[in-house]
Amino acid sequence: MKAVSGTEFARLLEKRGWECKRINGSHHVYCKPGNPERITVPVHGSAALKIELQRHLMKIAGINESEL
């Protein structure tokens, strides 16, 4: 799986209709209208997300590996 940074993952979420509701420090909280889920993305510059966290966030957002 390709590792992406928090910034890249946040852009991908926004393309898929997720909205940034708030920012608390370096954590961006995304919600999607009509979806009860909430996704918190750690944005630490260009540092890549840990693979297990990235896999979990992708599952919640419904993103496939091919979309990275």
pTM score: 0.92
What's the pLDDT score for residue 18?
97
CA contacts within 13 A on the Cβ side of 22: 3
Q: Is residue 1 part of a domain?
A: no
Question: How far, in Å, CA of 33 to CA of 47, rounded?
Answer: 29
User: What domain range includes position 36?
Assistant: 6-67
CATH no. for residue 30? 3.30.920.30
Question: How far, in Å, CA of 24 to CA of 12, rounded?
Answer: 20
CB–CB of 62/15 below 8 Å?
A: no
What's the pLDDT score for residue 56?
97
What's the pLDDT score for residue 41?
98
What's the pLDDT score for residue 68?
85
Chain segment 3-37, per-residue pLDDT in tens: 999 999 999 999 999 999 999 999 999 999 999 99
Number of domains in the chain: 1
CA end-to-end distance (rounded Å), the chain: 9
